Amino acid sequence: MKIGFIGLGIMGKPMAKNLIKAGHDLIVFDVIKENVDDVVVAGAKSAASSKQVAQECKLIITMLPNSPHVKTVIMGENGILEGASEETIVVDMSSIAPSASQEMEKSCAEKGVKLIDAPVSGGEPKAIDGSLSIMVGGDKAVFDEVYDILMVMGASAVHCGDIGAGNTTKLANQVIVALNIAAVSEAFMLSTKAGVDPIKVFDAIKGGLAGSTVMNAKIPMITEGNFKPGFKIDLHIKDLNNALETGHTVGAPLPLTATVLEMLQMLHADGFGQYDHSGIAKYYEKLTGTEIRK
């Protein structure tokens, strides 16, 4: 099948490559030329704009940083809507504000274009091995139509509800991940300051109730002082801002999220925005002047 793919960063690149490996013809676009070149070497054809992608493909996947980027690509000059037809389906896999998905779905529908939101969890490793968890909002019939394509990139794809429900689910995921990393960092600073080897603490508790996928993924990074992203602190700031905005709109107070967001903002202000979000540990390391290392 001919598929358009726009946004070839840490996540989009391996997802696009998996679609090529599965035998699909990809037409790709990104504003960063090196990112395009890498996927073209893997077999994709490059387009000059999002509009051209839409002129050539009925199914278009977008994997962009945040709501403004997706709005530009879909509704902006030389964007998807300028090149789309009434047969076009847009699957936006970016993590953005649910309200932005709802707003864009309305604009798309006015032109007969179908849009669903389908953000992912799992990070770069699962994007590479095609085992992402995909959470989807929008028309169930469109979800059913693209399900097999989603399952090339993911191990699961769950229809969560109407347009925006995928991104609402993703925000819940991001709140849990951020608070979990903060809890792990706080607890491991406690044990480190008290003189217990963090690897011993990890080995002792990872199989118990405190164990988590987050702890298993992040403690090896933290104890090696390896904060290469992965998932950048700046992207997690974006997600928690979207969570607070959504929480305020629907009447759900998020006091813990607000606190961790301020910790992330402090790290951003201190120059750590491009670090992996396991860098939340650095917040505690700066407070105490002590590193959590093996």
- Residue 72 binds ligand NAD (CB under 6 A): yes
Taking CB under 6 A as the binding criterion, the range among 1-9, 161-169, 251-259, 280-288 that sits at the site for ligand NAD is 1-9
Beta bridge partners of 62: 6, 92
Closest CA to 278 of 234, 243, 216, 233: 233
As a whole number of angstroms, the distance between CA 103 and CA 89 comes to 16
- Cβ-proximal residues to 122 (8 Å cutoff; 6+ apart), any chain: 131, 132, 133, 154
Closest to ligand NAD by CB, 28 or 189: 28
Q: Which residues are catalytic?
A: 170
Answer for which of 47, 120, 136, 260 binds ligand NAD (CB under 6 A) is 120
Least Å distance between CB 237 and ligand NAD?
A: 10
Binding residues for ligand NAD, total number by CB under 6 A: 27
Least Å distance between CB 69 and ligand NAD?
A: 4
Site track 202-241 with ligand NAD (rule: CB under 6 A), x = hit: ----------------------------xx---x------
Closest to ligand NAD by CB, 69 or 114: 69
Closest to ligand NAD by CB, 14 or 198: 14
Answer for which of 39, 57, 63, 189 binds ligand NAD (CB under 6 A) is 63
- Residue 82 binds ligand NAD (CB under 6 A): no
- Residue 32 binds ligand NAD (CB under 6 A): yes
- Residue 123 binds ligand NAD (CB under 6 A): yes
Closest to ligand NAD by CB, 170 or 282: 170
Least Å distance between CB 230 and ligand NAD?
A: 6
- Residue 11 binds ligand NAD (CB under 6 A): yes
HEC secondary structure over the chain = CEEEEECCCCCHHHHHHHHHHCCCEEEEECCCHHHHHHHHHCCCEECCCHHHHHHHCCEEEECCCCHHHHHHHHHCCCCHHHHCCCCCEEEECCCCCHHHHHHHHHHHHHCCCEEEECCEECHHHHHHHCCEEEEEECCHHHHHHHHHHHHHHEEEEEEEECCCHHHHHHHHHHHHHHHHHHHHHHHHHHHHHCCCCHHHHHHHHCCCCCCCHHHHHHHHHHHHCCCCCCCEHHHHHHHHHHHHHHHHHHCCCCHHHHHHHHHHHHHHHCCCCCCEHHHHHHHHHHHHCCCCCC
Least Å distance between CB 142 and ligand NAD?
A: 20
- Residue 22 binds ligand NAD (CB under 6 A): no
Closest to ligand NAD by CB, 198 or 230: 230
Contact 58, 80 (CB under 8 A): no
Answer for which of 25, 38, 124, 291 binds ligand NAD (CB under 6 A) is 124
Binding positions for ligand NAD, rule: CB under 6 A: 6-12, 29-32, 35, 63-65, 69, 72-73, 94-95, 120-121, 123-124, 230-231, 235
